[in-house]
Amino acid sequence: MRMYPTFFKVAFSWMDAELAHTLGFAGIKAVHRSGLGSVLNKVTRPDPGSAVEVMGLRFPSAFGLAAGFDKGATGTHALTDLGFGHVEIGTVTGQPQPGNPKPRLFRLIKDRAVINRMGFNNDGAAAVAPRVAAALQSLSEQALKTGLERPIVGVNIGKTKVVDLENAVGDYVTSTRALAPYADYLVVNVSSPNTPGLRQLQELDSLRPLLTAVREESSAVTGRHVPLLVKIAPDLADADVQAVAELALDLGLDGIVATNTTIARDGLGLRSTEDEVAACGAGGLSGRPVRRRSLDVLKMLHQHAGDRLTLISVGGVTTPEDVIERLDAGADLVQGYTAFLYEGPFWAARINRGLKKAARRVRG
């Protein structure tokens, strides 16, 4: 019998969602600092046979934690204690910023969903970079001791709110200069609905010079190839999804992360009442209701690009069966976030066990 659903109902469901996140994350980090994280990881870690090679990197598992949870690389190692094969840091911006006014994070519990308008609250690239470096060092040392694969650390970068669109490329380059030396892979986020004008950067005329500049700066400051992906919104029209895929292929990008949160409210089959949804206000909706569109975008991208692009699928993933469905539909990696809030700290471990059982059935 799982205890976390009862714990969530008693301890967190009535609490401000952002405060609950802060307290929950603090608890995860406290367990790691106590030294119990390594003990916990013996139970939660992926099976060695579950490792996958993607973009020239060895991932302990195909399942990882999406950007948004660990915005500032303050608990990266602690999160991998829970069994995530990779953690994507961010979104990080070129300048520090507080994000949007609170309250800015809301739950739709009936729908296992979240609406957020966080606004890329983070400490800025210069402050986050040394934390990423420290996390990589700590994870590498652990890998040497255990002989197991090191969890992968990706970094997701976005635009500082006060920077206008005309200067957005320079802002992304600032983040790239600081963070690329420590990132296993980089993701350019142009799809959050919570930074005014950001989604305009998904337009091809804007996206091409942006991605080109980030890639060139990454190569210049690292002297190596850092895999580069772009994260897109589920609200793009089908033709625009295909156009972004063509651009990624033309530029020689490594892949696409699909998808971010949605600004849609209609057509998602929400169980929450209209008043409950309206009370949350504007923002991106994530969780179970975006599952169908996220899967459709993945299938479209795979049909259009085949194996020429790495595809990381995120959106509405809850169960091992969801992860397997995404992998079968063409995803190379799968990420989750919102379900983590509802499923609890052993969620990734349950996903990993499900992937192991599925692999055993295939082999058997």
Catalytic residue positions, numbered = 192
Q: Is residue 156 a known part of a binding site?
A: yes
Q: Is residue 41 a known part of a binding site?
A: no
Q: Is residue 118 a known part of a binding site?
A: yes
Q: Is residue 80 a known part of a binding site?
A: no
Q: Is residue 194 a known part of a binding site?
A: yes
Rounded Cα–Cα distance for residues 121 and 119 (Å):
6
Query: Which among 227, 223, 83, 76 has a CA at the least distance from the CA of 153?
Result: 76
Contacts by 300-305, CB closer than 8 A, 24 or more apart? 300/238, 300/241, 300/242, 301/241, 301/245, 301/256, 301/258, 301/330, 302/329, 302/330, 302/331, 303/330, 304/241, 304/242, 304/245, 304/246, 305/245, 305/248, 305/249
Two tokens, residue 157: 């970068």
Q: Which H helix or E strand runs over 220?
A: helix 204-222
Q: Is residue 195 a known part of a binding site?
A: no
Contacts by 117-121, CB closer than 8 A, 24 or more apart? 117/193, 117/194, 117/281, 117/282, 117/283, 117/284, 118/68, 118/194, 119/161, 119/194, 119/195, 120/71, 120/91, 120/93, 120/158, 120/159, 120/160, 120/161, 120/192, 120/194, 120/195, 121/71, 121/97
Q: Is residue 344 a known part of a binding site?
A: no
Q: Is residue 91 a known part of a binding site?
A: yes
- Give per-residue burial for 268-280: e unless 16+ CB within 10 Å, then b: bebebeeebbeeb
Q: Is residue 212 a known part of a binding site?
A: no
Q: Is residue 342 a known part of a binding site?
A: no
Two tokens, residue 78: 């602690």
Rounded Cα–Cα distance for residues 289 and 287 (Å):
6
Q: Is residue 356 a known part of a binding site?
A: no
| Cis before 259? omega within 30 | yes
Q: Is residue 68 a known part of a binding site?
A: yes
Q: Is residue 260 a known part of a binding site?
A: yes
Q: Is residue 71 a known part of a binding site?
A: yes
Which residue has 């063509």 as its token pair? 246
Whether the Cβ atoms of residue 360 and residue 89 lie closer than 8 Å to each other: no
Q: Is residue 120 a known part of a binding site?
A: yes
Q: Is residue 261 a known part of a binding site?
A: yes
Q: Is residue 176 a known part of a binding site?
A: no
Q: Is residue 233 a known part of a binding site?
A: no
CA dihedral 176, 133, 28, 92 (to 10 degrees): -10
Q: Is residue 116 a known part of a binding site?
A: yes
From the annotation, which residues make up the binding site for substrate?
Answer: 71, 116-120, 189, 194, 260-261
From the annotation, which residues make up the binding site?
Answer: 67-71, 91, 116-120, 156, 189, 194, 231, 259-261, 287, 316, 337-338
From the annotation, which residues make up the binding site for FMN?
Answer: 67-71, 91, 156, 189, 231, 259, 287, 316, 337-338
